[in-house]
């Protein structure tokens, strides 16, 4: 099952000029736990997809809301030359096809 098939919301946004957050919300606790325990949704796997070091990615689980928050460093500071997504609104794309 792909992440996009079991998450009801996957969105990204700025968390200041040097960080991006990705929110992943699930309708059910079962889907949340499947994603939370997946070996394909880890700091190391996400870092590889985004060209980051493993210590530049943090995953925060919030079980009461069936939610995961991924916080990661931006490769380019928001608003500087070369930044193509100043609001960070399109940064969740590389996660959509992850097989859980």
Give the CATH number of the domain where residue 29 resides.
3.30.980
**48 assigned to some structural domain:** yes
**37 assigned to some structural domain:** yes
**74 assigned to some structural domain:** yes
* C-alpha distances in Å from residue 32, one per residue of 20, 24, 38, 39, 55: 21, 9, 10, 14, 23
Query: Could you give the number of structural domains in the chain?
Result: 1
**40 assigned to some structural domain:** yes
**100 assigned to some structural domain:** no
Give residue 16's pLDDT: 93
Give residue 4's pLDDT: 95
**55 assigned to some structural domain:** yes
Pairing status of strand 57-62 against strand 19-26: unpaired
* C-alpha distances in Å from residue 6, one per residue of 18, 63, 76: 29, 16, 31
- Per-block mean pLDDT, blocks of 10 residues, the chain (100 long): 96 96 97 96 97 98 98 95 92 94
Range of the structural domain that residue 88 is part of? 3-95
Give residue 57's pLDDT: 98
């Amino acid at each position: 099952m792909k992440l996009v098939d079991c998450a009801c919301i996957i969105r990204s946004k700025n968390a200041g000029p040097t960080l991006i957050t990705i929110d992943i919300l699930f309708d059910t606790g079962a889907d949340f736990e499947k994603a939370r325990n997946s070996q394909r949704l880890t700091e190391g796997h996400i870092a590889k997809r985004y060209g980051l070091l493993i210590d530049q990615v943090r995953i925060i689980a919030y079980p009461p809301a069936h939610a995961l928050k991924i916080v990661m460093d931006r490769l380019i500071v928001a608003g500087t030359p070369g930044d193509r997504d100043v609001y960070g609104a399109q940064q969740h794309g590389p996660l959509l096809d992850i097989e859980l």
